Structures are given as C-alpha cells and as structure tokens.
C-alpha cells in the first residue's frame, strides 16, 4: 500500500499551506487561468448552481466548491498530485477557518485601520493587474500564434551541425606544444587533460560535450569544426585564458526541435511579449508624470508631457 493511501490529509496538516491570502496575484509567467473545481466537474446537464454547489455556510456567507478548487491550486506540489476528492475534507475545513477568521477581523474593525486598508487596496490592485495582463495575454497567446512563431523560428531551419570535443588548457604555448608532442607519441588525451589542464573540466578528461559553432568563440569553433572524430588540432589556439589543445570526439547533425519540444518555451516567450505590449499600450493611453527624488519634475517627463509645470508629486 502506498504512503499516499496511508496518509489522509487533515486541516491541521494543510494549515501552513494557507497562511497567506488564497487569491493572491499570480506572477507574469503564470498568466494563463488556473484550473477551477468546476472545470473538474462535468455539468452533464446540470445547472451551474448544481455543478458549483454551496459546500458550507459561515454566518450566512456561502462557500462554493469553486473556492476549494482555487485553494487546491495553492497547495505544495506533493499534495497537488492527490485527487481533489481526497483533499476535499481538509480544504473545506481550511476554507471555513479562513472565512471565520476574516469575519472576526472585520467585526473588530481591522479592515478600517489605515495601514491595513492600504495593504488591502494594494492586494486588490495586484489582483486587478494580474487579471488585466492575463486577459491581454490570453487573447494573444493562442495555438495559432504559437504555430506561427514556431514556423518563423524553426520551420525552415536546416539540421544544425554539432561537435563533441575535448580540450586541454595550458598556461603557455611551450606547455601546449609539449602536450601536442606527447599526444603524437600516443599519450591518451583524456588522461593528459586530467593531469595537465588548468580548466576544471580537466577532471572529466576535458570533455566539453556537444556544441554548435555559435556557442563557442570563433577561433575555437574554426578549429573544432575543421577536425574529424579522433583528430587532434595540429596547433594550440590562444585566448585570454591560455592555450587550448583540441580533440574532436564526435560530429552529428541535429534536426530542429519539433513543436511539442518547444511549445512551452514559445508560449512563455509570447506571454512575456504580450505583457510588455500591454504595459506599453497602457502607458500610452494615460498621462504619466515623473518626479526626481527631491520632488522636482524630471526633464524627460516635461518633454513627454508638454505644459507640465508642477512638482512635488502633485501633477
């Protein structure tokens, strides 16, 4: 029997996972909508009220199933793998605790304390900011947009050549020439790298793994891509770190990645692009006044807003 089946969660065990507001604003990289409990439940002809029933009532305030679904999305990964039905009792108890504590705080007037009101307003603004960006991104980050970006970046890209090489880094050209001489006499390249190379990768025989031409500095690339597997460069090449003796182990052609391979990275790129565009467009639609730390008007702000004369943060 698995540990998952032996350990049934309860409200106390999950309390630490919910010490902060359950509906906090997501970061930009989580802009797509989070799953809802109602998404898990199939309507099957039922009304929305039936699909999203009231699961508790605190002093007349209903708690619906979707609230528990949102709460489940804030759980640690090890708990999110458990079924919603298994988590339901603990989620319900914690949601009741949440509403009870909020109501008691309101009864004591905590929401009217100026510092707390400012924090509440800031939390509301974070939620609004995140939702605005989410909606802007959702409209732009579509399957079609992902396909277009994939076609642009990878659609016509030919297979890319890569080589797997080793190197031995030495402090002087004379030391490099000594190593080349030893290699010509039959010395093992990886062994020499382990004993002679100044580079930390000498411990693994100087193995650099596979790389493309553009991933290494030009002279090194010219040398590595001119050699066939098993060949050692006829001379050492120099850069600011020292003198490099190079050996190529393998060469290969790598096809462009498939859409499934890069779909998520493209999606994240498009989300970031949509966020930047939304911010830029929002800024363009509203007057913005900037001031220096002493309250005086910034000159570049004057140029952007002709006619601005005030200071002290009061446009």
- What's the mean pLDDT in 190-199? 96
* Across 28-42, 225-239, 258-272, least confident range: 28-42
At 29-53, the pLDDT tens digits run 433 333 344 444 444 444 555 678 9
Average pLDDT for 185-211 = 96
Cβ-in-10-Å burial (0-12, 13-18, 19+) of 194 comes to middle
Between vectors from CA 151 to CA 150 and to CA 152, what angle results, nearest 5°? 90
pLDDT at 144: 96
Rounded to whole angstroms, the Cα distance separating 20 from 13 reads 15
pLDDT (mean) for 210-239: 96
Kindly report, residue by residue over 66-106, the tens digit of the pLDDT.
999 888 888 888 887 888 888 899 999 999 999 999 999 99
Is the pLDDT at 15 greater than 50? The verdict is: no
Which comes out higher in pLDDT, residue 205 or 293? 205
For the chain, list the domains and their CATH numbers: 3-125 (no CATH), 160-254 (3.10.50.40)
Buried b / exposed e along 165-179 (16+ C-beta atoms within 10 A): bbbbbbeeeebbeeb
pLDDT for 12: 39
H-state helical runs in 52-83:
65-72, 77-80
Mean pLDDT of 114-119: 96
Q: What pLDDT is recorded for position 79?
A: 84
Q: Using 50, 70 and 90 to split pLDDT, how confident is the model at 235?
A: very high
Average pLDDT, the chain: 83
> Mean pLDDT over residues 131-155, rounded?
94
Q: Residue 70 has what pLDDT? A: 86
pLDDT at residue 165 greater than cutoff 70: yes
Q: If you search the block for the tokens 């493209």, which residue do you land on?
A: 266
Portion of the chain with pLDDT greater than 70, in percent: 79
Structure confidence at residue 313 (pLDDT): 46
Residue 301: predicted pLDDT = 60
Nearest Cα residue to 236 out of 293, 286, 175: 175
> Which has the minimum average pLDDT: 37-46, 58-67, 238-247, 282-291?
37-46
Stretch (H or E) spanning 90: helix 84-107
Higher pLDDT, 291 or 14: 291
32 vs 222, residue with greater confidence: 222
Residue 48 pLDDT? 52
Beta-sheet strand order (sheet of 160-170): 207-212, 160-170, 242-254, 237-239
């Amino acid at each position: 029997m698995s540990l998952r089946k032996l350990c049934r969660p309860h409200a106390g065990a999950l309390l630490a996972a919910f010490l902060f507001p359950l509906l906090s604003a997501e970061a930009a990289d989580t802009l797509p909508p989070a799953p809802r409990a109602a998404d898990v439940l199939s309507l099957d002809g039922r009304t929305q009220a039936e699909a999203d029933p009231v699961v508790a009532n605190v002093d007349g305030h209903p708690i619906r199933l979707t609230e528990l679904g949102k709460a489940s999305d804030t759980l640690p990964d090890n708990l999110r793998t458990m079924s919603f039905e298994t988590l339901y009792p603990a989620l319900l108890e914690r949601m009741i605790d949440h509403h009870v504590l909020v109501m008691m705080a309101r009864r004591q007037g905590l929401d009217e304390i100026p510092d707390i009101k400012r924090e509440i307003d800031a939390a509301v603004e974070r939620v609004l900011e995140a939702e605005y960006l989410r909606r802007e991104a959702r409209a732009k980050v579509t399957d079609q947009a992902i396909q277009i970006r994939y076609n642009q970046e990878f659609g016509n890209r030919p297979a890319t050549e890569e080589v797997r090489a080793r190197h031995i880094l030495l402090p002087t050209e004379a030391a490099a020439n000594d190593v080349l001489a030893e290699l010509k006499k039959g010395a093992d390249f990886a062994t020499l790298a382990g004993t002679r190379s100044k580079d930390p990768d000498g411990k693994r025989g100087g193995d650099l793994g596979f790389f493309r031409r553009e991933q290494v500095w030009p002279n090194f690339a010219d040398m590595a891509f001119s050699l066939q597997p098993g060949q050692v460069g006829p001379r050492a090449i120099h850069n600011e770190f020292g003198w490099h003796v190079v050996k190529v182990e393998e060469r290969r052609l790598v096809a462009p990645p498939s859409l499934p391979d890069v779909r998520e990275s493209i999606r994240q790129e498009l989300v970031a692009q949509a966020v930047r565009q939304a911010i830029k467009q929002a800024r363009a639609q509203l007057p913005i006044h900037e001031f220096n730390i002493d309250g005086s008007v910034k000159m570049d702000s004057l140029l952007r807003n002709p006619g601005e004369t005030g200071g002290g943060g009061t446009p």
